[in-house]
Amino acid sequence: MSTKVEQRNYDEVLSWLREHGFDLIEAPGTQGRVFLKKYSCSAAIQKDGDNGVKIFAYPGCMIGSEISKLVNRGYQQFLKTAKNEVPATADHLKALHQFSEELKEALGTPSLYNESLGTVSESYQYDRIADRDKAKADRPKRPWEVAGALVAKKSPA
């Protein structure tokens, strides 16, 4: 069962956002770009073509004055900025999820099933698969490989 999504133009999106409690801040030095804030989260949208709208800065929780990027490390999600990285709490994730869903509704973009189940990270960085795309000779040695080499050297053959 498919549902039709109502596409909105730039002015309609801005009007919808204002009506639903978003704080809108014009980006300095540019026209047609707006920063949005609500629930301690932020994103930026810009005019695309004549009437279209696209996301310029994806939603993230505010850490200081920066929009954070959600990073999933397998065991924990983190909010990362250029200067800081903090563990994401349940409150952070709930606010970010609510903000993202409302932004999608404002833009008239579909809410996908996997995204509606919870917060989706922009980046997944699991500790044991880092650098696996590099050639074997270029990969750093894993702790268990180093320990195994030391044991092999000590054992008489």
pLDDT band for position 39 (50/70/90)?
Answer: very high
pTM of the full structure: 0.69
Question: 1 vs 4, 88, 113, 148, CA distance in Å?
Answer: 10, 35, 13, 55
Give the pair of three-digit tokens for residue 100.
Answer: 């993202």
Q: Is residue 74 part of a domain?
A: yes
Averaged over 61-82, what is the pLDDT? 88
Averaged pLDDT score across all residues of the chain: 81
What are the start-end ranges of the H helices in 3-142?
10-19, 90-107, 113-116
Residue environment code for 8-47, b if the CB has 16+ CB neighbours within 10 A, otherwise e? bebebbbebbeeeebeeeeeeeeeebbbbebbebbbbbbb
More confident residue, 30 or 131: 30
Residue 4, pLDDT > 80, answer no
- Residue in the structure block whose two tokens are 């696996």: 132
Q: Which amino acid is at 47?
A: K
Task: State the residue range of the domain holding 100.
Answer: 10-154
Contact criterion met (CB below 8 Å) for 156 and 148: no
- Higher pLDDT, residue 155 or 124: 155
Number of separate domains in the chain: 1
The domain that contains 58 carries what CATH number? 3.30.310
Per-residue pLDDT band for 1 (boundaries 50, 70, 90) equals: very low
Residue 4 covered by a domain: no
Task: Give me the half-sphere count of Cα atoms (radius 13 Å) on the Cβ side of residue 47.
Answer: 13
Asked, for residue 3, whether it belongs to a domain, the answer is: no
Could you tell me if residue 2 is inside a domain?
no
1 or 99: which carries more pLDDT confidence?
Answer: 99
